[in-house]
């Protein structure tokens, strides 16, 4: 194999492929990136058995061929080369020579026989949305997936398409995040669970270009995400997602409209008093057109008032401050509406059109102490 | 105690004082910052028993007093307050109330009786230099102190003043860094060893203002460094510093002039092949007007040539690449002169005026393998 390409282009593709190189694995071949040169195309591939990425590089193929090379050392070398043309040659013994200006590296490559090949996926119906929109919707929901593997379904997100609407849902047992996106066209119904890890990696490699599109393809077992020179293929999580509609409600006893930034900064300050070992709630006392937030822990106590526009009853309710902050941080509105029912029922942060709904369960607290 | 001050001013001072709060200590009082309000001055003090910092804050003292408060939670709260006036009150039970706009925090403070007081230091002869110069000279030398406490003297830097010259020296057994600075005035001779930790902290809190001065005072046991609203007092390391003059030499068999950036990038690339467990040297082969750098490790091999201007004999010599990089990174010249004697003798990177001298010992290598 012999290829010529530009250092910057190569580095971009290497950085994208790197996202699918597992940090820990018992199969040492997965620590490699496969470089494949054929038909005038240079393709870099990495695969962690759940997620696989193909990334194409512009360049010249002087001699076709393929080889696997340790991803870590290869990417570090490419990163530190001068900004100029890079030549990569692999001989029959899989010895790789990288030359750029006067720098010349030799590394030991490997044959690709053991490298798992990407599943062949029939590209049927393709769903299009802008790179920016996909990146945003991931950011706005992925924080509320569950970390633990004890409930596999909670580690993924529901992607549900019906007609011209994409609904993305994540939940972890304490909260639910829902985002709805209007698509430009109507599609056949899709209902899949995409692993959170895949979504995190996709949002890291996708550029946030509002004018460029991402193409999504679905099968029963896989999702394919194509953009620019890159293809990401991921396994789906099998199973049935939670029926979230029955957890939602439009009933409320109290509704407040509050300045988001002011509310968020206040919770952020209260959160300073939370110790890992204590998990104290922030207590919100809504009375008249004012809410009082308070927190008491072994570190100290705080109290702060914020003016709000209130409809309905007064209420005293406690929350995990982190959950409120996670949701408020990804809402772009200057003012948010919060709907409450009673101190044992979830609150809803949502807009009128329900383009976003953040449900958060309250926590018990000892009202006497606070 | 009751004080009023601006959040930004207070935060600046807290951040400076924090540098002297030990990260680990058995004396819990040292985890505190002492706030002292008297005579219309607000002073924050921290002390880790080797290094102590006083930092003054502009503000109003409504009621004199003093109290110690946990540095971590206090600094975090101040950081997150709105940018506005902060009022701090401490009552007779050392309960502290911090109010800023509508936010109100209560923390438990402590009496200051157990807090070690700063040594009283007679401020005799004062040495002046610009903040920028002191910060730079630390950066340019502190990387070659020894980490280990087995040889206490090597963990500090020699500060030697004679007439109008300040000489700063650090060494770790493998290399020596020397910087000489012309002062504006002449001073009585000084020869002290300042702990590297102190210098690191000073360089972090000192602004890099070329027009503002730092005032240094010395005693047998302490150095005092004053700038802006801050006083840093540090113990010195006791003992006699190494006689470095006898390790220096002006003799050389080979001298090369090389482009610093090119040389540094090349070593940086070679260094990618160094594994923690192997410690392979970079081999430099100087022949005619060219040097060839090479590195071979279990990860692979590299070779690269750089054009140089050479005087004297050809030479083949090996170095720890990190030591060369550390020195080259802090030299501002576009081209550097390197003086060599033989493959067992140190090399010297220095300018004509010897305003800087970096001595680096070579390492043995198996010439046959390379």
Q: DSSP characters for A159-215?
A: EEEEEEEEEEEEE-SSEEEEEEEEEEEEEEEEEEEEEHHHHHHHHHHS---SSSEEE
Ranges of each domain in chain A: 2-108, 126-245, 248-360
The predicted pLDDT at position B368 comes to 47
Closest CA to B61 of B36, B93, B95, B30: B36
Tell me whether B301 touches chain A (CB under 8 Å): yes
Question: For residues B252 and A9, what is the distance between their CA atoms, to the nearest angstrom?
Answer: 45
Q: What is the mean pLDDT of chain A?
A: 94
Is B285 within 8 Å of B291 (Cβ atoms)?
yes
The predicted pLDDT at position A348 comes to 98
The predicted pLDDT at position B367 comes to 53
The residues near A356 (Cβ < 8 Å, ≥ 6 apart) are A140, A177, A178, A179, A180, A331, A349, A350
The predicted pLDDT at position A368 comes to 47
- Residue A162 vs residues A44, A132, A205: alpha-carbon distances, Å: 35, 21, 27
pLDDT band at A187 (very low <50, low <70, confident <90, very high): very high
Same fold flag, B2-108 and B126-245: yes
The residues near B297 (Cβ < 8 Å, ≥ 6 apart) are B273, B274, B275, B278, B280
Question: What would the pLDDT profile of A79-125 be if each residue is shown by its tens digit?
Answer: 999 999 999 999 999 999 999 999 999 999 999 999 998 878 888 77
> Is B301 within 8 Å of A272 when comparing Cβ atoms?
no
Element (H, E) at A75: helix A71-80
Domain A126-245 has CATH 3.10.150.10: yes
Tell me whether A287 touches chain B (CB under 8 Å): no
Total Cβ atoms within 10 A of residue A208: 14
Residues of B in contact with A299 (CB under 8 A): 70, 73, 107
CA distance B99 to chain A (A): 10
Tell me whether B275 touches chain A (CB under 8 Å): no
Q: Copy the structure tokens of residue A208.
A: 């946030």
Q: Cα A321 to chain center, whole Å?
A: 22
Q: Nearest Cβ partner of A272 from B77, B102, B106?
A: B77
Question: What would the pLDDT profile of A40-54 be if each residue is shown by its tens digit?
Answer: 899 999 999 999 999
| CATH architecture of structural domain A2-108 | Roll (3.10)
Report the CATH fold assignment for B249-360: DNA Polymerase III; Chain A, domain 2 (3.10.150)
The predicted pLDDT at position A367 comes to 53
Q: Copy the structure tokens of residue B228.
A: 């802006």
Q: Nearest Cβ partner of A103 from B80, B107, B269?
A: B269
**Residue pairs spanning A and B at CB distance below 8 A:** 70
User: What CATH number has the domain spanning A248-360?
Assistant: 3.10.150.10
Is A326 within 8 Å of A176 (Cβ atoms)?
no
- Residue B301 vs residues A54, A97, A104, A106, B368: alpha-carbon distances, Å: 28, 9, 8, 5, 15
pLDDT averages per 10-residue partition of chain B, 370 residues: 97 97 93 94 95 95 97 97 97 97 96 88 88 96 91 96 97 97 95 96 90 92 94 95 92 96 97 89 95 95 96 96 98 97 96 97 71
Is B366 within 8 Å of B322 (Cβ atoms)?
no
Is B158 within 8 Å of B169 (Cβ atoms)?
yes
Question: For residues A38 and A3, what is the distance between their CA atoms, to the nearest angstrom?
Answer: 10
Asked whether the ipTM of the predicted complex exceeds the cut of 0.90, the reply is no
The predicted pLDDT at position B365 comes to 81
Residues of A in contact with B105 (CB under 8 A): 269, 273, 300-302
N- to C-terminal Cα separation, chain A: 71
In degrees, to the nearest 5, what angle opens at C-alpha B153 toward C-alphas B152 and B154? 90
- Whether the per-residue pLDDT at A210 is higher than 60: the answer is yes
Q: Nearest Cβ partner of B300 from A107, A265, A303?
A: A107
Total Cβ atoms within 10 A of residue B220: 7
């Amino acid at each position: 194999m012999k290829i010529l390409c530009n250092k910057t282009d190569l580095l971009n593709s290497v950085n994208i492929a790197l996202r699918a190189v597992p940090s820990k694995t018992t199969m040492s071949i997965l620590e490699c990136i496969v470089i494949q040169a054929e038909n005038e195309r240079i393709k870099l591939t990495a695969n962690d058995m759940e997620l696989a990425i193909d990334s194409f590089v512009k360049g010249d193929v002087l001699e076709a061929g393929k080889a696997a090379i340790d991803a870590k050392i290869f990417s570090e070398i490419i990163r530190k080369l001068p900004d100029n043309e890079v030549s990569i040659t692999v001989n029959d013994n899989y010895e790789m020579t990288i030359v750029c200006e006067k720098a010349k590296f030799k590394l030991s490559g490997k044959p690709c026989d053991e490298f798992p090949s990407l599943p062949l996926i029939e590209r049927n119906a393709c769903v299009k949305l802008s790179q920016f929109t996909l990146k945003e919707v991931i950011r706005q929901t992925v924080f509320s997936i569950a970390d633990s593997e004890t409930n596999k379904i909670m580690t993924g997100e529901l992607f549900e398409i019906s007609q011209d609407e994409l609904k993305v849902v994540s939940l972890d047992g304490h909260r639910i995040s829902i985002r709805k996106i209007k698509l430009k066209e109507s599609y056949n119904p899709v209902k899949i669970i995409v692993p959170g890890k895949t979504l995190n990696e996709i949002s890291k490699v996708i550029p946030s270009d509002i004018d460029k599109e991402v193409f999504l393809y679905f099968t029963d077992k896989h999702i394919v995400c194509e953009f620019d020179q890159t293809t990401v293929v991921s396994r789906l999580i099998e199973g049935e997602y939670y029926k979230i509609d029955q957890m939602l409600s439009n009933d409320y006893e109290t509704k407040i409209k509050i300045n988001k930034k002011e509310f968020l900064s206040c919770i952020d300050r209260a959160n300073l008093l939370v110790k890992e070992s204590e998990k104290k709630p922030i207590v919100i006392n809504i009375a008249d057109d004012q809410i009082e937030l308070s927190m008491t822990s072994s570190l100290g106590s705080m109290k702060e008032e914020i003016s709000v526009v209130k409809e309905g009853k007064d209420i005293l309710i406690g929350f995990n401050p982190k959950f409120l902050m996670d949701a408020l941080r990804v809402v772009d509105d200057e003012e948010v509406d919060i709907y409450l029912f009673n101190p044992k029922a979830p609150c809803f942060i949502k807009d009128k059109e329900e383009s976003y709904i953040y449900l958060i369960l309250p926590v018990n607290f000892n009202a006497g102490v606070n």
